Amino acid sequence: MATSEVLQMFVGNNTSVDLDSKTIHSLPKNIDGFSVTLAILHLAVCIMGLGGNTLVIIAILKLDKMSSATTVYIFNLALADGLFMVGLPFVAFQNFQKEWIFGELACKLVMVLDGINQFTSVFCLTVMSLDRYMALVNPLRFAHWRTPKQAKIISAFLWLLSLIPVLPMALHFNVQYGLCVADMFVEKWWMTFLTYTFVLGFVLPFLVMIIFYATLVVTLKYSRQYDRSCSSLEESQRLEKQVTKMVVALIVVFGVCWLPFYTFNFCSLYGTNLTLIFAHGFETAVLLSYSWSCANPILYACLSETFRKYFRTLLCPRLNHSRMHCNRDTEAYDLQYTNEQIVSVIT
């Protein structure tokens, strides 16, 4: 895609570009209703994301103390999501003012840190799908892999792994024509970068989550069919319903938040005569990708009974504080096994 078309997508119709002199001539910028609305939404997402993920982090450190593998992964997920919000005001300012004023170094740092936190968040969620599968299908067999110590080691590896796909951003993101954008004169690099980030950051995690969660739901369904105990049958039905709701919510929210972002990026590679509508759609898709990081705490509050108790304890410490006797795992259920032992597992 031509450089002028890329710039047009970012700055809209109020800017003209002279490629020969490599200068950008900014015309007076009109603050329209869309820009104001998007700025307000950026602010709302940033506040909700920082507040929600901070609440999750405090709840885990103060009340749970990372006593299970699941809460270790959720802690790292919340940390990555919270840090992901830090770069949002910079992106919002550029989209609103159509200008980057923070300098070259800040441009590289914001883009690299955004990438690290984005991939860490996605990788943590992917590992959590495997963790939930092991916890519910055969908790005794996989107990060694589900200790807090093992989870911390795996989480540290995920942070290091996230460095690999974003290192090129430190080289190819610069301030050009007054904007913090990717190197527009290396289109083959941009195509390669989009492709492998799409595969590593969306396709593979999405497939892994679908496979493990679908296998988990099917396993629970078959185990319920072979269980003749009435009390155990009722508990299994409740567990299956709870896990199914969680699976559908996580997969749908993940797809809705990230698929438009990658779709617009790939469309921009082949687009010609990009319109202001496309530019607005692209900015909305970017905001939607950031909203993923503030959606996770909401999912915890809606789908996790234990986290609801944690949040109530932190926000309303005087209400039912003495009655909080929940399991220290994130979500605990009692399942009846063939040896009639009750085993507490995590979802």
Kindly report the CATH number assigned to the domain that includes residue 87: 1.20.1070.10
H helices present in the chain, as ranges = 3-11, 33-59, 69-86, 88-97, 104-137, 148-161, 163-172, 187-198, 204-226, 230-270, 276-303, 305-315
Residue 347 lies in a domain: no
The number of distinct structural domains making up the chain is 1
What pLDDT score does 187 carry?
Answer: 63
Task: With respect to residue 331, please indicate whether it lies within any of the assigned structural domains.
Answer: no
Which domain does 302 fall in, by range?
1-10+30-312
What is residue 158's predicted lDDT score, i.e. its pLDDT?
95
pLDDT of the residue at 7: 47
With a CB cutoff of 8 Å and minimum separation 6, the contacts of 269 are 1, 187, 190, 191, 194
Is residue 340 included in any domain, yes or no? no
User: What is the reported pLDDT for 148?
Assistant: 92
Stretches where the chain sits below pLDDT 50 are: 1-28, 321-347
User: Does the residue 24 lie in any domain?
Assistant: no
Domain assignment present for 203: yes
Please state the pTM of the whole predicted model: 0.80
Domain presence at residue 293:
yes
Residue 256 is predicted with a pLDDT of: 92
- Establish if 339 belongs to a structural domain: no
Residue 321 included in any domain: no
Alpha carbon distance 128, 28 (integer Å) = 49
